[in-house]
Amino acid sequence: MDIRELVRRALEEDVGAGDLTTMATVPADRLARGVFLAKQELVVSGLEVAAEVFRAVDKRLVLEPAAGEGRRASGGTHLGQVTGPARGMLTGERVALNFVQRLCGVATLTRRFVDAVAGTRARIRDTRKTTPLLRALEKRAVEAGGGVPHRAGLDKAILIKDNHIRLAGSVGEATRGARAASPDTLVEVEVERLEQIEEAIAAGAGMILLDNFAPAGVEEAISRIGGRVPVEVSGGVTLSTVRAYAEAGADYIAIGALTHSAPAADISLEIAAI
């Protein structure tokens, strides 16, 4: 789904048949300027979506970003301004802020994890635990925060997880089946126990995902793998533990919280007549 369609649906949900309050209180010819104001330290993402919101409401509304995608901003920073008809600005205000606050929140949390593993080889990845229909935007926000997006959908990569393994019969069966079906596609295999690693690599795994391992277990697993394939870690990793996983030698650390638990950034849109 493209941005315009997402914006259309969001406005349809919020505005419905019309903005009753604005139409009743604001003169039709009133012009205004609105400033997006960061009220906390954050990483910028999503201003282009806000611009699309305002264009969809009234093509005369123009948003000029003052901060680029991925830029760090401190509290009190002006992120951008929108100018044009006041009625349209008020009507699009909440939808625009919802997008920007959500996406800045994802980018900001991602940056915290990225900063926490600075100096190691580990790279922070997202997962498919995204808000329905917002995946592309949320994954872009992860990139803005310095993270590395994982597969965008089930048709983009092969990741064999525990349920696939149980239904296929074993790690080896699942991996061999995937390799046979898609010989040119990287096959990543999730393992829950050290003894599954050799079976997965022997069957053709191109990457190992260590699920719910403690840092010491990750270190042992990486020693056994010996650099034959890249290693990803997932499962319950937090800001307080991510550094230990990175120092254990993981190439990638997948964190669902980047998208399923990121708090919205505190941003306001201060509007005044001009």
CATH number at residue 58: 3.90.1170.20
The answer to whether residues 231 and 163 belong to one domain is yes
Strand 78-85 with 62-65, pairing:
antiparallel
The answer to whether residues 174 and 240 belong to one domain is yes
* pLDDT band of 17, cuts 50, 70, 90: very high
Query: What is the domain extent for residue 17?
Result: 3-114+262-273
The answer to whether residues 245 and 267 belong to one domain is no
Q: What residues act catalytically?
A: 94, 129, 161, 190, 211
The answer to whether residues 171 and 78 belong to one domain is no
- Number of domains the chain is built from: 2
The answer to whether residues 238 and 268 belong to one domain is no
- For the chain, what is the mean pLDDT? 97
Q: What is the pLDDT of residue 43?
A: 98
Per DSSP, the residues of 71-100 read: -EE-TT-EEEEEEEEHHHHHHHHHHHHHHH
The answer to whether residues 186 and 224 belong to one domain is yes
Strand 42-43 with 72-73, pairing:
antiparallel
Tell me: pLDDT of 185 over 90: yes
In the 8-state DSSP scheme, what is residue 262?
A: P
Q: Is residue 213 part of a domain?
A: yes
Condensed to tens digits (0 to 9), the pLDDT of residues 55-69 reads 999 999 999 999 999
Tell me: pLDDT of 46 over 80: yes
Residue positions counted in the chain = 274
CB 176 within 8 A of CB 45: no
Question: Can you tell me the mean pLDDT for 85-101?
Answer: 98
With helix as H, strand as E and coil as C, how does 125-175 read?
ECCCCCCCCCHHHHHHHHHHCCCECCCCCCCCCEEECHHHHHHHCCHHHHH
The answer to whether residues 107 and 9 belong to one domain is yes
The answer to whether residues 98 and 83 belong to one domain is yes
Tokens of 76: 């009190």
CATH number for the domain including 210? 3.20.20.70
The answer to whether residues 248 and 266 belong to one domain is no
Question: Can you tell me the mean pLDDT for 248-261?
Answer: 97
* pLDDT band of 1, cuts 50, 70, 90: low
Q: Is residue 131 part of a domain?
A: no
Tell me: pLDDT of 258 over 80: yes
Question: Can you tell me the mean pLDDT for 12-28?
Answer: 97
